[in-house]
Amino acid sequence: MKGMELFMDILVVGGGGREHAIIKKIKESPRCDKIYCTPGNGGISCDAKCFDIKADDITGVVELSKGLQVDLVFVAPDNPLVAGMVDALEKEGIAAFGPRANAAELEGSKVFSKRLMKKYNIPTADYEIFDNPADTLTYIRKQGRYPAVLKADGLALGKGVLLCDNYSQAKAAVKSLMQDKIFGAAGSRVVVEEFLTGPEVSVLAFTDGKTICPMVSAKDHKRAFDGDMGPNTGGMGAISPNPNYDDETAEFCMNRIFLPTIQAMNKEGRPFKGCLYFGLMLTLDGPKVIEYNCRFGDPETQVVLPRLKTDLLEIICAIREERLSELNIEWSDDACACVVMASGGYPGEYKKGIKITGLDSNGQLDDVIIFHAGTSKESRDFYTNGGRVLGVTAKGKSVDAALNLAYGAVARIDFKDAHYRRDIGKAAAQEDTKM
Ligand code: AMP
Ligand code: GLY
């Protein structure tokens, strides 16, 4: 196995828009030699050689990494991180980027993360933990406060948070999580949380366990339809910066949330190295943590990484060698916006294999980048192959300028029943004026 060499061969694990953005950014590094992806997708295959080993197949990825003799494996999605892919790679002497399983627990278990925040006085919603349906419902009825926020303890494809407007909804939610186990063991324990209100902000941060460097802020749009209506999705679009996140808020978050979190993880013997994602809500009582993710967010990565000026591979190497404090990470002042084009029906049932047209017409546009989230490629044509299909992304002098460019690019692309939100970035501007 080769060591941390000047020129590096890299394998990225995952296959969505986030991974496409990571690959494009790593390829800008003069130190990047060969780049591979598994499983990747049609669009990613234009930037990296793809393999058909699934992202959560730990043995398969270890074997592939050995066969390719890569210098680094970048594990991007939550499932393999929580399941210990980084530990398995390191055990075989393969360098990996991402937290080990004991640190990925921050996302893997809401019970763990809530207890950590309580123990170390990190601001978050008040909560109680339950492991049986009857006690959960007795508590919700006694509280009598709606919406009641019910969260599955474990990973649930981003769908494990249920907001219940009344007792009968709460009963149905408890039944589906804890009795019918729609998310399997993830729902064996639940967190019942205080309902918070305020603008939401996503802050991703590089950390080597000693130093934490927040990236530029972002805003996700989780609901499927305009006006924040409809079911939660993986994310229908994003903007960066988030207009609600000012310098004063950033300073508060650094001192009361970001640093205390990495210090707490060290004290617990679970040093976190990688990208730590803070899902924040700016409440009237100040910023509070809604959730931690142990990885880059999707689609936030698509608007954050295009603004990164510093070599991402240099940052990754510094994190692995615990010398992040030596780096001065620089960001472009340009704003960035991403509009997700999804398959009709997403996040519910949707068709695959529909031909996408108009991609070529955007290929040459300055400041427009099309990240592929769920596509396949046959000869020169692309077809839909997932719920979220494309992340149409643009940079501009302001969020509005970036949005105009991105929507201009979206108008040139077509596939049958394509669905996208027309109001990406708008809700954030409205929240801004309300504050
Ligand atoms: P999560 O999957 O943990 O990101 O949660 C999904 C969404 O549920 C968040 O983006 C929030 O909009 C909402 N949410 C989660 N927890 C709370 C809470 N305590 N109060 C209000 N909304 C919440
Ligand atoms: N955009 C939220 C997430 O990646 O979980």
Domain spans of the chain, in order of start: 8-98, 127-193, 200-430
Give the closest ligand to the alpha carbon of residue 300.
Answer: 2
- Cα 354 to averaged position of ligand 2 atoms, centre (Å): 26
Average pLDDT over residues 130-154: 94
Best of 111, 161, 282 for a ligand 1 pocket test (most atoms within 8 Å of beta carbon): 161
Q: Is 17 in the pocket of ligand 2 (CB under 6 A)?
A: no
> Higher-confidence residue: 401 or 365?
401
Read off the pLDDT band of 191 (50, 70, 90): very high
Q: Where does the pLDDT of residue 334 fall: very low under 50, low under 70, confident under 90, or very high at 90 and above?
A: very high
Place 360 in a pLDDT band, splitting at 50, 70 and 90.
confident
297 lines ligand 2 (CB under 6 A): yes
- 343: Cβ below 6 Å to ligand 2? no
| Cβ neighbourhood burial of 52 (10 Å; 0-12, 13-18, 19+) | exposed
Instruction: Output the residue whose Cα is nearest ligand 2's atom 3.
Output: 297
Assigned fold of 8-98: Rossmann fold (3.40.50)
Residue 1, pLDDT score: 36
Other C-beta atoms closer than 10 Å to the C-beta of 293 total 21
- Would residue 223 be called left, alpha or beta, if left means φ above 0 and alpha means ψ between -120 and 50 degrees? beta
- Distance between Cα 70 and ligand 1 center (Å): 38
Residue 431: the pLDDT is 60
pLDDT digits over 46-67, tens only?
A: 999 999 999 999 999 999 999 9
Ligand 1 centroid, distance to 223 Cα (angstroms): 11
Residue 433: count other Cβ atoms within 10 Å of its Cβ: 7
pLDDT for 313 equals 97
Mean predicted lDDT score pLDDT of the chain: 94
Distance (angstroms) between ligand 2 centre and the Cα of 298 equals 5
* CATH numeric code, 127-193: 3.30.1490.20
**pLDDT of 425 strictly over 50:** yes
**Is 14 touching ligand 2 by the criterion CB < 6 Å?**
no
Ligand 1, atom 3, lies closest to the CA of: 291
Closest C-alpha to ligand 1, atom 8:
161
Q: For residue 232, what pLDDT is reported?
A: 87
- Find, among 28, 79, 7, 86, the residue nearest to 319 by Cα: 86
The upper half-sphere exposure of residue 179, i.e. CA atoms within 13 Å in the direction of its Cβ, equals 11
**Which ligand is closest to the CA of 290, given by its number?**
1
| Tens-digit pLDDT profile for residues 219-266 | 999 999 999 999 889 899 999 999 999 999 999 999 999 999 999 999
Helix axes 101-108, 110-119, angle to 10 degrees: 90
Distance between Cα 235 and ligand 2 center (Å): 7
Determine the distance separating the centroid of ligand 2 and the alpha carbon of 326, expressed in angstroms: 29
**Residue 435 banded pLDDT, cuts 50, 70, 90:** very low
Asked if 51 and 37 touch (Cβ cutoff 8 Å), the reply is: yes
pTM over 0.75: yes
The ligand that comes nearest to the alpha carbon of residue 124 is: 1
| Ligand 1 atom nearest to CA at 196 | 20
Q: Looking at the CA of 201, which ligand is closest? A: 1
402: its two tokens: 């970036």
| Ligand 1 midpoint to CA 259 (Å) | 22
In this structure, which topology does domain 200-430 adopt according to CATH? D-amino Acid Aminotransferase; Chain A, domain 1 (3.30.470)
Residues whose CB falls within 8 Å of the CB of residue 48, separated by 6 or more in sequence, listed in order: 12, 23, 27, 35, 36, 37, 40
The answer to whether residue 168 scores a pLDDT higher than 50 is yes
CB of residue 158 inside a 6 A radius of ligand 2: yes
Per-residue confidence at 434, pLDDT binned at 50, 70, 90?
A: very low
Mean pLDDT of 27-34: 96
Cα of 299 to ligand 2 centre, how many Å? Answer: 7
Two tokens, residue 321: 């060698």
* Ligand 1 shell residues, CB under 6 Å: 125, 149, 158, 161, 193-196, 200, 222, 232, 279, 290-291
pLDDT of residue 427: 64
With a cut of 70, say whether residue 307 has pLDDT above it.
yes
**Averaged pLDDT, 322-335:** 97
Which listed ligand is nearest to 275 at the C-alpha?
2
Mean pLDDT (whole number) for 199-223 = 97
CA neighbours closer than 13 Å in the CB half-sphere of residue 240: 28
CA distance 182 to 284: 35
